[in-house]
Amino acid sequence: MIDDEDDDEILKKGITIKSVFKNAMIVLFIILGAIFVYVGFALDQIAIIFAGFVTICIGATLIQIRKPEREPVRQTLTILKCESCGITKVRHFEEGDYIFEKKDPCDKCNDVLEVKQIYSIKFKDPKTKLIPSVQT
């Protein structure tokens, strides 16, 4: 399944001073390495070429370093419905829940609640608190 929410987050990210500085330093390392390799202004040409290649490798490595993305906070919910009185109950998913399972007794008419849906919610803000169980 493709999350459309991730596209919006990527578009909203702006250019920061930190990212500009980081990219400028990477370009500087690569240019400095290329200058060492091509110009070679010292007596020992092998050492200068080696230093140039090492500097280019450091710049290329810095390009690949990325901040690890946080795992989004998810909450899995189970929706139960009573067939006789029509009451709907939303609660946290429990291990072993499956669709059409006859589960809990109904609070209103004492009939059996049936699991109608199981789904997962992805919170955009990782500090969001989990949704409590609700009955309607």
Q: Which long-range contacts (CB under 8 A, 24 or more apart) does 67-76 make?
A: 70/126, 72/122, 72/123, 72/124, 72/126, 73/122, 73/123, 73/126, 73/128, 74/120, 74/121, 74/122, 74/123, 75/120, 75/121, 75/123, 75/130, 75/131, 76/118, 76/119, 76/120, 76/121
Q: Are residues 87 and 39 in the same domain?
A: no
pLDDT tens digit string along 4-46? 455 555 566 667 788 788 888 888 878 887 887 777 666 677 7
**CA-closest candidate to residue 3, choices 123, 125, 85, 100:** 123
* Domain membership of residue 80 as a residue range: 73-135
Q: Tell me whether residue 4 is in a domain.
A: no
Q: Are residues 80 and 129 in the same domain?
A: yes
pLDDT tens digit string along 87-103? 888 888 888 888 888 87
Q: Give the number of domains in the chain.
A: 2
* Six token digits for residue 2: 């493709």
* Residue position matching structure tokens 């500090």: 127
Q: Are residues 78 and 125 in the same domain?
A: yes
Q: Are residues 86 and 125 in the same domain?
A: yes
Residue 6 has what pLDDT?
55
Residue 7 has what pLDDT?
56
Q: If you average pLDDT over residues 98-118, what whole number do you get?
A: 86
CA distance 32 to 51: 10
